[in-house]
Structure 1
Amino acid sequence: MYFNFTYPEYLYLLFSIPFLIFFYFYNIKNVGGRSVKFANYEAIARVKGIDLYSKNINVLILDIIIVVALIFSLSGLTLYKEMTVSSFSFVIAVDSSESMGATDILPSRISAAKDTATNFINLLPEGSRAGVISFSGNSYVEQEVTDNKQIIKTALNKIELTTTGGTDLYEALSTSSFLLKNEDNKAVILLSDGQINIGNLDEVIQDALKKGITIHTIAMGTVEGGSTGFGISKVDEDTLKSLAYSTGGKFFAVNSKEKMGQSFNEIIPLTTKLGAVNLSFILIIATLVLFILRQFLISVIRISI
């Protein structure tokens, strides 16, 4: 475990701290406060029985800590430590074609798909990487590959049904492949009802094998089917099974709310790697808390006087 700075040039701002200390004591000695003139410190201390200097030094210490925290935040302080993460990077591909509006899984297939994908993201260890696309007749990048789980879940939540005709699986794979191009081990989590009507399935399988991409498929819907604007839509599990098994992936079926919470641990192989934790946001929060504490301490000093 060790620390590093993304923007070390900001560390030169630490040289401002001696000037802060100098002006602080200069202000105490030469500038009268609203409540007390510090030139009369000795007399006030005898009457009130208080140590004004020590209380103001506490404020000074807080100010120094606040400045240091802000400078470290600007410098991009990052903690590097051993982390257990998925050895694969994923793209979550959500079918947003019209058939995904079927209600054989309440409230709809696409809502169930987004909930299922969110469950999968929740299972990923911190530091694991994933991206999000939606696809129908065209593919759309909802979120590039990142290790920020909250951003991934937000992208999933924003996916809506599209009016674009067809379901182009080949383009979905091409888009996923582009997002995964810089990743070592690549996998696609495909959530669909299997109603693939654009492109050739064999071409998709061969392209995935060529690019070293494992495809795990999750069938959304029931064999009986559900009502859509164009009639009854039934899930095609055979297509999704073929796609998964031919690329070394796993197949799952979600045909009820109860199945949405099933564990996907078997498709999240784990490894240990050196992970980075950016501490800038934590330092900003700490700075705000310390500033509130500083203001409280100043008010206590004024009341004491």
Structure 2
Amino acid sequence: MNFLWPQFLWLLLLAPLLVLLYLWLLRRRKKTALRYASLSIVREAMGARQGFKRHLPPLLFLLALGALIVAAARPMAVISLPSQQETIILAMDVSGSMRATDVQPNRLVAAQSAAKAFIADLPRHVRVGIVAFAGTAQVVQPATLSREDLVVAIDKFQLQRATAIGSAIVVSLAELFPDAGIDVGAMTYGRERPRGQSLDKDLAAKGEVKEFTPVAPGSYDSAAIILLTDGQRTTGVDTLEAAKMAADRGVRVYTVGIGTVDGETIGFEGWSMRVRLDEETLKAVATRTQAEYFYAGSAENLRKVYQTLSSRLTVEKKETEISALLALAGALLALISAGLSLAWFNRVL
């Protein structure tokens, strides 16, 4: 636990002094009581039979003061809170390699089943959009609350050639920020930009993307992108440059790799191709955007990955100030202390 104003914790040193003062008052009251003639009545009032009751209200009051002092120090603790995610974009690979059967019944069907189960587990207030990508990337279902529309869009996937992972990230960002002027076509087919100049700055200079101030990676809490692919980029926007665009906007890109790292040869309608999973790039995308990479080598693992993502995106751990909780606890303890004292002794403490 951390404290924003730790100097207030020095006030806790008053607690032992308050205990000593309380003990001194008890002794003083006892000596005063001995001067009265009706000594038996006084002793009964202060006797051992009421000893526990007599000390409980002051003890609760002391605990209340301690809680209020700690609250004044503004403690910070890591606690689980409902996520603020309102929109999630599923960017799913529909390249020809997704017909491989190393994930049963094949990669595409396994991905479709897992994605539909993931959507069903999300809270109803979370909007979901779907981007399908192969040689190009396109929004096949704009962000919506309708789970039925999402399932229909997933079931309509058609396999195509090539893999444009970077373009999928850019199209997902365009869906999240429709007023930003993000154009994947300009990024893919635009003129050569100066060496070392970022994609955003180049397009802003040409007026094809609105200028904006970059934010800290992972700081945008209202949306996230989940990118699932089984291959490596063969066309479209550079993957890491697209990841930088997401990072500059604070959007996390969670990457899911499905298939084999070593690769295999896929044949279809007289042509064949060698496909392999580019884990290093997917890990780099997740790291750059302050997200995570997951490997799903089987249909069961893929379902578990989506279950993990569902829990991460609906409940998140954050360092949060808990001063209000401690202040509430202190106030309740003080009220209970005063209430017991009034009920038992007809006075407050």
Match of 1:239 in 2: 281
Secondary structure (helix, strand or coil) at the match of 1:132 reads strand
Structure 1: how far apart are the matches of 2:158 and 2:84?
28
Secondary structure (helix, strand or coil) at the match of 2:226 reads strand
Distance 1:153 1:177, change over 3 A: same
Contact 2:86 2:125 in 1 (8 A): no
Secondary structure (helix, strand or coil) at the match of 1:187 reads strand
Of 294, 300, 308 in structure 2, the residue corresponding to residue 252 of structure 1 is 294
- Deviations 1:128-156 (Å, cap 9, x if unpaired)? 11100101111121100011112112211
How far the C-alpha of 1:176 sits from its partner, in A, is 0.8
Aligned residues: 186
Task: Using the TM superposition, name which of 126-135 and 174-183 deviates more.
Answer: 174-183
Structure 1: how far apart are the matches of 2:273 and 2:137?
24
Of 223, 227, 237 in structure 2, the residue corresponding to residue 186 of structure 1 is 223
Structure 1: how far apart are the matches of 2:154 and 2:238?
27
TM-score after normalising by structure 1: 0.56
Structure 1 letter corresponding to 2:136? N
Tell me, which stretches of 5 or more residues in structure 1 are unaligned?
1-83, 272-305
Q: Which residues in structure 2 correspond to 1:147-162 (within 5 Å)?
A: 147-162=145-160
1:221 matches 2:266: no
Match of 1:269 in 2: 314
Structure 2: how far apart are the matches of 1:105 and 1:222?
9
Secondary structure (helix, strand or coil) at the match of 1:268 reads helix
Q: Report runs of 4+ in structure 1 exceeding 4 Å deviation.
A: none
Contact 1:115 1:260 in 2 (8 A): no
How far the C-alpha of 1:228 sits from its partner, in A, is 1.1
How far the C-alpha of 1:226 sits from its partner, in A, is 4.0
Distance 1:87 1:231, change over 3 A: closer
Structure 1 letter corresponding to 2:226? I
Tell me, which stretches of 5 or more residues in structure 2 are unaligned?
1-81, 179-219, 317-349
Contact 2:228 2:255 in 1 (8 A): yes
Identical aligned residues as a percent: 31
1:212 matches 2:250: yes
How far the C-alpha of 1:257 sits from its partner, in A, is 2.1
Structure 2: how far apart are the matches of 1:200 and 1:177?
15
Of 103, 106, 117 in structure 2, the residue corresponding to residue 105 of structure 1 is 103
TM-score after normalising by structure 2: 0.49
How far the C-alpha of 1:232 sits from its partner, in A, is 4.0
Structure 1: how far apart are the matches of 2:261 and 2:243?
24
Match of 1:200 in 2: 238
Match of 2:197 in 1: none
Structure 1: how far apart are the matches of 2:230 and 2:288?
18
How far the C-alpha of 1:85 sits from its partner, in A, is 7.2
Bigger radius of gyration:
2
